């Protein structure tokens, strides 16, 4: 690109340069070229952003929720009007193909829909004449300054999980996007500013760990939302709660897909391919392990392998729309390749090697095709750790009970799916699988914005999840009022 895109902070309604000279390159994963530089700032910019949000909160919390929702209505219209531009930005800095990018922006807009409905949901409860002429009522109140720390893989969707609900509830917000993909977040906030949000209600700061720690430790930040890897999610939760903050912290996953003999072949294979290899496997909802008995695996695996081998892989920012684009960086590409090497060394059978996949329109981007391992054992690294790439593991077990036992030994608890036409089997699976999101013949059981994104165990740290009623509860506190009149 001839000109680099700008990456500035947004503080008190103004786009400003960072007070630092330390920067991280933002690359186009399809070409490997630098498209911008993300500031890696210190505490000063964070403090300015939080101070701006704290000052704006005094007036914003008293703005009627109906007026706050009207801004969300205008914001939704602007998002829909500019969805093509937003999708291209996601593709540019992350590498998703444009279909996946557009879908992810659309899922974020669903949460803006929920924010628009807040006047109906924000209401409290009443109980008349509880006793002795006393009436009870509950009222919702905003928390204050909230912060969102978002990952690289969904630069539009995940920020939209957070700030629309938070600010419509009456809070102010500081967003710290991933330094690898901050450009989409910048555009989201530009559109929110255009929708008429008052100065200081939303702010954007860039940076790495130093900026994260500054938000977690800042005395004026009341709540923190995070999505990322499990080790960082645990750190965010422990550090934030130790500082007295409310924290929702979503981590990684190792999701299982259980196949049964009577599952429909085409529909099952199509769903598995989309789940395992969509977004180049860089999502916490990817099905990364297929599990089943020998006869079931022998029936389905040739179809899965053939379908994966036929996927097109190549640059996504241009005229082409391949099935799968690049991964986020050269470093991440090497990490995935190391996992493949580990699987081979530990005895798994590599039946499809993504390192040898043909790339359409080759470039200097970060490409790897889909890989599939058969005969994966539970003690292997590829079975235990989140690879976060297009690598599918196949595990063979003796029966349904053995499959359930294996699924539930995972320390994660994000999602699990079953493919079957047996209602009793599906019911048993729903009841026994120890995770928060279940799919029955659904490859990616990610709920729409009206329902919570409900990870369990090491996939989530906190009590209230993002999205849905839980998201509204997270960003508000309740006051119980007892009334008696003499």
User: Residue 137 is encoded by which pair of tokens?
Assistant: 């009522």
- Cα of first residue to Cα of last residue in the chain, in angstroms, is 75
Quote the CA–CA distance of 150 and 170 in Å, as a whole number.
21
CB contact at 8 A, 92 and 325:
no
Q: Compute the CA torsion angle 68, 69, 72, 73 (nearest 10 deg).
A: -140
From the candidates 284, 393, 425, 435, give the one annotated as an active-site residue: 284
CB contact at 8 A, 430 and 420:
no
CB contact at 8 A, 275 and 415:
no
| Count of residues in the chain | 486
Quote the CA–CA distance of 40 and 360 in Å, as a whole number.
35
User: Residue 260 is encoded by which pair of tokens?
Assistant: 């049964």
Quote the CA–CA distance of 478 and 140 in Å, as a whole number.
5
Nearest to 429 by CA among 292, 267, 243: 292
> With the C-alpha atoms ordered 417, 419, 420, 421, is the resulting torsion angle positive or negative?
positive
DSSP string, 104-136: HHHHHHHHHHHHHTHHHHS---EEEEEETTEEE
Active site residue 284: yes
Quote the CA–CA distance of 346 and 381 in Å, as a whole number.
8
User: Residue 59 is encoded by which pair of tokens?
Assistant: 């007036």
Residue 135: exposure state from Cβ atoms within 10 A (0-12, 13-18, ≥19): middle
Catalytic residues: 284
């Amino acid at each position: 690109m001839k000109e680099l895109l700008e990456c500035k902070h947004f503080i008190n309604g103004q786009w400003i340069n960072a007070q630092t000279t330390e920067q991280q390159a933002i690359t186009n994963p399809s070409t490997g070229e630098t498209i911008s530089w993300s500031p890696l700032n210190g505490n000063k910019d964070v403090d300015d952003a939080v101070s701006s949000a704290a000052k704006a909160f005094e007036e914003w919390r008293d703005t009627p929720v109906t007026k706050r929702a009207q801004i969300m209505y205008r914001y939704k219209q602007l998002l829909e009007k500019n969805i093509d531009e937003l999708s291209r930005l996601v593709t540019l800095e992350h590498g998703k193909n444009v279909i996946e990018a557009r879908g992810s922006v659309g899922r974020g807009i669903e949460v803006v829909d929920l924010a628009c409905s807040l006047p109906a949901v924000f209401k409290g409860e009443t109980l008349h004449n509880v006793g002795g002429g006393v009436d009870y009522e509950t009222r919702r109140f905003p928390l204050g300054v909230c912060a969102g720390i978002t990952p690289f893989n969904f630069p539009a969707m995940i920020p939209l999980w957070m700030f629309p609900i938070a600010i419509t509830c009456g809070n102010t917000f500081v967003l710290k996007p991933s330094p690898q993909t901050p450009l989409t977040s910048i555009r989201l906030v530009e559109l929110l500013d255009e929708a008429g949000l008052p100065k200081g209600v939303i702010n954007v700061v860039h940076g790495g760990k130093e900026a994260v720690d500054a938000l977690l430790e800042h005395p004026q930040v009341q709540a923190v939302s995070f999505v990322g890897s499990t080790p960082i999610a645990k750190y965010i939760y422990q550090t934030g709660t130790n500082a007295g903050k409310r924290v929702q912290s979503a981590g990684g996953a190792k999701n299982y897909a259980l196949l049964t003999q009577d599952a429909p072949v085409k529909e099952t294979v199509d769903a598995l391919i989309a789940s395992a290899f969509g977004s180049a496997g860089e999502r916490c909802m990817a099905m990364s392990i297929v599990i089943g008995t020998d006869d079931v695996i022998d029936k389905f695996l040739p179809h899965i392998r053939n379908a994966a081998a036929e996927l097109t892989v190549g640059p996504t920012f241009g005229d082409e729309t391949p099935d799968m684009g690049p991964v986020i960086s050269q470093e991440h590409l090497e990490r995935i390749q190391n996992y493949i090497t580990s699987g081979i060394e530990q005895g798994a059978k590599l039946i499809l090697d993504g390192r040898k996949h043909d790339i359409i329109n080759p470039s200097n981007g970060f490409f790897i095709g889909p890989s599939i391992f058969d005969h994966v054992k539970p003690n292997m690294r590829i079975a235990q750790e989140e690879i976060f790439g297009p690598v599918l593991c196949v595990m063979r077990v003796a029966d349904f009970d053995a499959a359930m036992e294996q699924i539930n030994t995972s320390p994660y608890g994000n999602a699990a799916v079953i493919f079957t036409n047996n209602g009793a089997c599906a019911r048993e699976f729903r009841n026994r699988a120890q995770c928060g999101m279940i799919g029955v013949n659904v490859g990616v059981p990610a709920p729409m914005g009206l329902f919570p994104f409900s990870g369990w165990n090491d996939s989530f740290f906190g009590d209230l999840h993002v999205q849905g009623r839980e998201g509204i509860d997270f960003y508000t506190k309740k006051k119980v009022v007892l009334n008696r009149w003499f």
